[in-house]
Amino acid sequence: MNPVAPSPVKAVPKSVTLSIDAQAVTVPEGTTVWEAARAAGIAIPALCHKEDLNPVAVCRACVVDVEDNGSGRGEALLAASCTRPCADKMKINTRSPRVEECRKTLVELLLAEHPRPCKRHQETHDCELELLGERYGINQPVYTPRNYSKGTDYSNYSIAIDHSACILCDRCVRACSEVAHNFVIGRMGKAGLTSISFDDNQKMGDSGCVNCGWCMISCPTGAITYGGGAKTEVTDDTGRKVGTPLAAEDIKKIPLFARVNIQFLKRSEGAVVVRQYNKGEVICRQGEFGDTAFYIDDGEVDIFIDTPMSHVRTKGDGGLFKRVRSLLLPREKDARQEQDHRRFIPIDATAGDLEFHKPIARVASGELIGEAACMNHQPRSATVVAARDGTVVLVMLRNVLDILRRQPDFRKKMDQKYRERALDNHLRSVRELRDLPTEFVDYLRHRVELIGYNPGEVICRQGEPADAFYLVRMGHVKVFQTFADGQGMVMSYLSRSQYFGEIGLLQDVPRTATCTALDHVEVVRIGRPEFGEMIHQFPQIKAEFERESAARVQANLERVRHPGDDSLPQFIDQGLYEAQSLLILDLEKCTRCDECVRACAAAHDGVTRLVREGLRYDHYLIATSCRSCRDPLCLVGCPVDAIHRKKDLQIIIEDHCIGCHNCANQCPYGNISMQPYRVEFASLLTGQKEVREGEKATVCDLCDDQCLGESDEPSCVYACPHDAAHRVDGQSFFDRQVLGTRAAAGKARA
């Protein structure tokens, strides 16, 4: 039976058709008149509105004449187009005589208090207010200005505030709060004394301003301009200054930056450089931390993972020489419980993920590489080299990339490339969706939503209705569950190619957890109708999702331990309460024979996963070994999603680990180690065999894949001859050993 994609009508939003300046325009229901006109190429002036801000209808420059509101009647009052939703059969006139008269009067009032020309108009001739004044032929002030001015604030080293040029449009206020989430700028005063202010009416340089520049690029006039003090420079991943810096005027000529504010480009001079590479030259290397992104302007590049697809072997065959040679084994020869048999490895590029068995791809001009590393300062996920001589690359810092990401045209272009090139593989990187037919992927291609979230922003909240399935495209998501007693627990950290939201949809229940963006997160959102259509058409996919969701729910139930009413600061401060699997040594029984260490080394090819040193608590020693934390920070930041938490809370490191050290650096307890390897490895670029040296991350696996005879205990515990070594749950240990002892002592005193 061949499934047939459902009728497109089911997923198409309701549309309305209206007339704007006698031109028929069809837009989705809910679109504003200003947005509809802009989409049709009809310009409606707006001084307080901008496409990346929520409309507030403060300035009224965008008013239009509603000649027919869709019911056959006109309206006596002019409507603010930035907030007026479109209606079917509506007729709009954007330049009727009364609209033009109203706009001209408004501009005359604003220009009466505006210096002419302001600094911005002097330098770039693009002050939006003065351009409107020129359009209406307003050459001299008509009205008397108010007798109030705060002068110009030069306290910030790179941004100047000319209060006399401010028209109180609130663009800077909304940019600071809605876009940058800094909440530094607001209004103060009343009537003629109203002005913008920073924090509690401080100078900008003395306030909590983080100098992001969003207020400056949002301002329509010369009230907020570049002050000339910011200095930026681009370096490679080793910190060496590279490239040829481009002046703001030269950057503006590049089509990629055509719509970027010139004031921002001036403030960011040096933040964009151009580099030219010959064939084989390395642009960036996997595992190195990056703070730049790369746009391929001309030429081609190869993207590949330059490390063996294998992991540190869990059991050796004896003999030191043998151990060194066989330290790494592929998944086919050394299978482990719950390892991820994915077909694709996620990388940081719009071109898509890499095939597991041949992790290399060639991409041409127009591609963006290194976006996640730049935005979230994480290690590079792959090595990138020039594929031909004369390859030209634009290298940019995060502030420039952030501005580009917010440009509707650039965003639309990148999202379109993702839908066409990467969505297919990204969906199939999910085990449950690996056999999703191409026809249904095509059905989803333009129905899914691509949504971005800022750090700390809630994606979905526990208890809310389940309305979508989410697939992580970039960044890291924290899954947190709150229980009836008010206590909570981090259930997981999710990264690229992992998903959430399926439990509520499958079981038709509210959200079971709150999911929050840890850093800059991009997700693919599949709405309830599309997800329902998928599991309806493909019962085998529904069955796999149900199995996985049931396993997740069961694992969550098993891992939940409610904390007691009492606690000791030391136990909490040392992080022991977070541990699911502490290796504790009872120092009253331990003879320091090191049998536990030797047993661990013997079980893991001579490479021990524990150190008999660590924190002391009472008469116990907490050995240095993976604790399977409730809040596992090691899961955050892996550039290729190679580290996971199994259903029993243990940490597993996949064979496509690139040895970037990030998980080891993230672990606050030093329980992840980097083990060196030296193997013969065929180059993906040349096919020639080369000796490769590097490191792979290793972590305690509790000897899950070992044959331990009649005992289910890990080797370290099984080998202890004095019953001093134990693996315990941190909360249970605390409740039983610590609180129990204190309770007994209290009874004895009584």
Q: What per-residue confidence (pLDDT) applies to 565?
A: 37
Tell me the pLDDT tens digit for each residue of 150-165: 788 988 878 899 999 9
User: Which amino acid would we find at residue 700?
Assistant: C
Lowest mean pLDDT among 220-229, 454-463, 571-580: 571-580
Per-residue CA distances from 690 to 182, 286, 308, 324, 362 (Å): 51, 18, 11, 17, 22
| Model confidence at 731: pLDDT above 70 | no
Tell me the pLDDT tens digit for each residue of 6-56: 444 344 568 999 999 999 999 999 999 999 999 999 999 999 998 888 999
Give the pLDDT mean for 101-130. Answer: 91
How many other CB atoms are there within 10 angstroms of residue 89's CB atom?
A: 13
499-500 sheet: strands from edge to edge: 449-453, 521-527, 468-474, 499-500
Tell me the pLDDT tens digit for each residue of 328-383: 556 555 555 555 566 778 888 877 788 888 888 898 888 899 988 888 878 898 99
Integer Cα distance of 313 and 696 in angstroms: 11
Class of domain 569-743: alpha beta
Give the pLDDT mean for 583-598. Answer: 78
Class of domain 10-95: alpha beta
| Residue appearing with tokens 């996971």 | 644
pLDDT band with cut points at 50, 70 and 90 for residue 563: very low
Q: Do domains 10-95 and 424-559 have the same CATH topology?
A: no
Give the DSSP letter of residue 5.
P
- Structure-block tokens of residue 725: 């070594």
Handedness of CA 662, 667, 668, 674 (dihedral sign): negative
Give the pLDDT mean for 228-240. Answer: 72
At the topology level, CATH places domain 108-226 in: Alpha-Beta Plaits (3.30.70)
Angle between helices 539-559 and 528-537 (to 10 degrees): 110
List the chain domain ranges: 10-95, 108-226, 424-559, 569-743
Q: What per-residue confidence (pLDDT) applies to 748?
A: 47
Class of domain 424-559: mainly beta
Integer Cα distance of 271 and 289 in angstroms: 18
Q: Pick the residue with more confidence: 316 or 335?
A: 335
- Structure-block tokens of residue 59: 């300035």
Tell me the pLDDT tens digit for each residue of 535-561: 999 999 999 999 888 888 877 676 555
Asked if 241 and 355 count as a contact pair (C-beta separation under 8 A), the reply is no
Phi/psi for 303 (5° steps) reads -115, 125
**Read out DSSP for 648-711?**
TS-EEE-TT----SHHHHH-TT---EEEEEEEEEE-TTT--EEEEEEEEEE---TTTTS--TT-
Q: What per-residue confidence (pLDDT) applies to 330?
A: 60
